[in-house]
Structure 1
Amino acid sequence: MKTIISNPIDKTSVYLCAGLVSAGGALLLNVLPVLFGAFAEQFGYGEQQLGNLAMAMNLGFGLVALASVLWIQRVSWRVISTLASLLVAAALIGMCSGPAYPALVLLMALAGAGTGALYALAMTIFGDSSQPERAFGFKLGMETVPGALLLIVLPVALAPRWGLQGMLITLAISMLLMGIASLPWVPRHSARRQEAGAGEPLPVCRQSQTIAWLSLLASLVFLTGIMSVWAFLELMGKKSGLSSDTIGTVLALGFIINAGGGFIASSIGLKAGRFLPVALIIAAEVGGLVLLAQFSSLATYVAGVMCFLFSISFVLAYTFGVTAEFDVSGRLVVLGALCLSIGAAVGPAVGGLLIETYGYMAVLLFSGACSISVLAIYGAAVLRSQSASVRGLAC
């Protein structure tokens, strides 16, 4: 495992500013329901056309996240963040003119590419921490806050007065503030890169790489299960007679609760070990799914949503943390962004198929099965990490 003395990443200023970069990378995913609602209202797009826009964005996000393995450790972090933020902002401004649908698909893909680069960069920055669980808990909490605020501000304060154009300009300005204004407090390069440049070879251990891959797999399975339900939480509420305004308020509050989960994971760190906190929170998440499966009142719906959403940042803080600690090359942790992209694409597709074929209970069962599988996969990674530490095999 890596040990870095006076790690430049583990500073409050870096956590805050790199957290803003991460928030920029997650921003469009977080506000997608509101943005697509505005697209549908202004352009008259149907569900299939909106789905294709989401696919284009996720495709751009995922491809850039995958490709970033080749250059994320070679190019200045500040240059990456600046160029990616400008790309997203330019794509959003380009949408203001009401382009034809094919052009809009291309702009969404470009915006996805830019946010994918920002998210991959944030994964790399926080992955350099000497306390990865703490770092990723803060990252995941921090990146949720701007999205939660904009989920409230965009439809309530901006859309009624300035419409879609006002929303897009606000998102573009937000991207520039988060991705560029905070960069003076973000290091230019990885500590791993600096060590390598100083002539200190980075050891590679097969055991460590296996642990990193297992924790990445756990992240992917968890995100797929989460996104399969997240995409349909509003429809679940409407099926039981809840109003759109009520559901929107609940989901916005749930986003804030999700951020709190990340900050709580950051404060706990490894004080209670790696496995027990994750097991307890996944148990709470499964309890939330049970509530959603049988809710008949607003209170039950709220309780189910809160238990469900609280788990996201908390669990990912630990799975990403293990990946970062045992990824001695610094190249695997960046694939956490790819996990997010695949989960956001595959989860809703599987969820929609299950709902159309078997009903809402089926997708809730699928999500619960994914979470239980995560416990097994993550548990295997933790056991291997403990064995590696005892035997001195971890690099």
Structure 2
Amino acid sequence: MATTECARGRLALCSAHVAGMVDMVALPVWVGSLISGFGFSPARAGGLASIFLIGVVVASLYLAPRFNRMNARILVPIGFIVCGVLFLLNIVVDQYEIMGIFHFLGGLALGCALSLTHGTVGRSTNPHRTFALLQFANGVFAIGFMGSVPLLIHAYGAEAMYYTFAAIMCVAALLTGCFFPAQLPTPQPKRSTAKSHGSLPVGVWFGIAGVSVMAITQSMMFSFLERVGSAKGFSVEQLASMFVILGFVNLAPAALAAVLEKRFKPHLVMQFAPLFQIGLALLIVYSGSFYMYAAAGAFYPFIMIFTHTFAFGLFAKLDPSGRVVSSTPAINMLGASIGPFLGGVLVQEIGYGALPYAVSVLALVAMLSFFMIGRHIKRNSPVVLSH
């Protein structure tokens, strides 16, 4: 029987995380294809991605409090199968409203699978390290995805994107159906964290708010990364090379987060991360050099991946029951669901130049939230900060 600590179980968890987070990896390709291939406006294209992410959020919010009563070994592969079918259905329809329904239902199915996956990771021996492994696997996947899918779409049309999504779901369903880890008993919390099974600590809510706001800035800027480059006149080949570099760069943050687990305090990592989002967003939009644009674009997801790994480990310590980490898809994608639509409206009404300023405002809000979680932890939960 597979567990979270054996190779088969970790392979299943990696495949589930990769498939469950494919929307975040694919956002610039997804939104760009909906604009250039399907002919949607920036707001409508971003809106479809947002509808999908809202479905993920709704499923996660429903399942997270019920995580300990769910049979993840059955529900996770079913969720991927249903999501894959719904992706394929988008190819045979051309009405925006029906595509919106399929996207929402697909998000529900994916959110179910991802929420149960993250809840299982939260119950592993070392959630920080396990989640870092999953993020590393996602970085490996991103290299292949970003290096091939934009070229496939250019050669065969925007429908190739949905065929690719469906194939990814099929592989995840197969691996999780065979090897998904068995549910482990809920660990007994230490005396100092006994409250974690009642109402959530105040610090958790500040952390949830901060991660969600960071996710807005991530998805809003990342969704239009390809479109910004295209507007600057960069070729398809140049943009594809930038996405390949992005994939290689983003192998690093998860591994780095695992190595630095004992050296960096999670709340401090979270507090400073939004500043880097501001700087990179300014470079992406206002740099006239392809190399500066590509470097900033390649490093932009790095910040969220690195920060999210520390946040996941901190949430697992603050709430050992697994409820909060099971709601990670909702925490992350609640913000991510707003980003593509908000970015689309700003681009449509003002232009790409508005994006870095919106990122700046939201990043400051995230920093304030993370400052508050730091104050709460120092005051009430010294055990969480000890290494």
TM-score using structure 2 length: 0.83
More displaced 10-residue stretch of structure 1: 40-49 or 209-218: 40-49
CA displacement 1:275-304 (0-9 Å, x = unmatched): 444456544444323433541211211222
Q: CA RMSD in A?
A: 3.4
Tell me the residue number matched to 2:237.
Answer: 245
CA distance in 1 between counterparts of 2:7 and 2:209 reads 30
Secondary structure at the counterpart of residue 204 of structure 1:
helix
Q: Are the equivalent residues in 2 in contact too, given 1:250–1:302 (CA < 8 A)?
A: yes
Tell me the residue number matched to 1:82.
Answer: 77
Residue 221 (structure 2) pairs with residue 226 (structure 1): no
Note closer, same or farther for the CA distance 1:52–1:383 as it changes in structure 2 (3 Å cut). Answer: closer
Could you list the runs of 5+ residues in structure 2 that have no partner in the other structure? none
Note closer, same or farther for the CA distance 1:374–1:11 as it changes in structure 2 (3 Å cut). Answer: farther
Tell me the residue number matched to 1:181.
Answer: 175
* Shift in Å, 1:245: 3.1
Tell me the residue number matched to 1:374.
Answer: 366
Residue 195 (structure 2) pairs with residue 204 (structure 1): yes
More displaced 10-residue stretch of structure 1: 55-64 or 313-322: 55-64
Tell me the residue number matched to 1:136.
Answer: 131
CA displacement 1:336-382 (0-9 Å, x = unmatched): 21133322222233334444555544421332343343333223323
More displaced 10-residue stretch of structure 1: 215-224 or 66-75: 66-75
Residue 21 (structure 2) pairs with residue 23 (structure 1): no
CA distance in 2 between counterparts of 1:39 and 1:393 reads 45
Residue 340 (structure 2) pairs with residue 340 (structure 1): no
Tell me the residue number matched to 1:310.
Answer: 302
More displaced 10-residue stretch of structure 1: 273-282 or 359-368: 273-282
CA displacement 1:136-179 (0-9 Å, x = unmatched): 32223323432442233234357635x56655444323212123
CA distance in 2 between counterparts of 1:393 and 1:284 reads 24
Q: Name the amino acid aligned to 2:371.
A: G
CA distance in 1 between counterparts of 2:29 and 2:219 reads 17
Note closer, same or farther for the CA distance 1:177–1:392 as it changes in structure 2 (3 Å cut). Answer: closer
CA distance in 2 between counterparts of 1:250 and 1:10 reads 35
Tell me the residue number matched to 2:280.
Answer: 288
Indicate the percent of aligned positions where both proteins have the same amino acid.
19
Tell me the residue number matched to 1:265.
Answer: 257
* Shift in Å, 1:25: 1.0
Secondary structure at the counterpart of residue 329 of structure 1:
coil
Secondary structure at the counterpart of residue 263 of structure 2:
coil
CA distance in 1 between counterparts of 2:305 and 2:17 reads 13
CA displacement 1:280-339 (0-9 Å, x = unmatched): 654444432343354121121122223322211001111222122212332222222113
Q: Are the equivalent residues in 2 in contact too, given 1:126–1:139 (CA < 8 A)?
A: no
Q: Are the equivalent residues in 2 in contact too, given 1:62–1:116 (CA < 8 A)?
A: yes
More displaced 10-residue stretch of structure 1: 82-91 or 293-302: 293-302
* Shift in Å, 1:212: 1.8
Find 2:266's aligned residue among 274, 284, 294.
Answer: 274
Secondary structure at the counterpart of residue 327 of structure 2:
helix
Q: Name the amino acid aligned to 1:368.
A: S
More displaced 10-residue stretch of structure 1: 182-191 or 42-51: 42-51
Q: Are the equivalent residues in 1 in contact too, given 2:17–2:114 (CA < 8 A)?
A: yes
CA distance in 2 between counterparts of 1:64 and 1:247 reads 34
CA distance in 1 between counterparts of 2:34 and 2:283 reads 32
Tell me the residue number matched to 1:199.
Answer: none
CA displacement 1:245-270 (0-9 Å, x = unmatched): 32233134224423421222122212
TM-score using structure 1 length: 0.82
Q: Are the equivalent residues in 2 in contact too, given 1:127–1:325 (CA < 8 A)?
A: no
Residue 294 (structure 2) pairs with residue 299 (structure 1): no
Residue 206 (structure 2) pairs with residue 214 (structure 1): yes
Q: Are the equivalent residues in 1 in contact too, given 2:29–2:150 (CA < 8 A)?
A: yes
Q: Name the amino acid aligned to 2:213.
A: V
More displaced 10-residue stretch of structure 1: 330-339 or 167-176: 167-176
Tell me the residue number matched to 1:3.
Answer: none
Residue 203 (structure 2) pairs with residue 191 (structure 1): no
* Shift in Å, 1:21: 0.5
Matches within 5 A, 1:157-176: 157=152, 160=155, 167-176=161-170
CA distance in 1 between counterparts of 2:376 and 2:359 reads 26
Find 2:9's aligned residue among 2, 14, 17.
Answer: 14
Matches within 5 A, 1:26-105: 26-35=21-30, 44-47=39-42, 49-98=44-93, 101-105=96-100
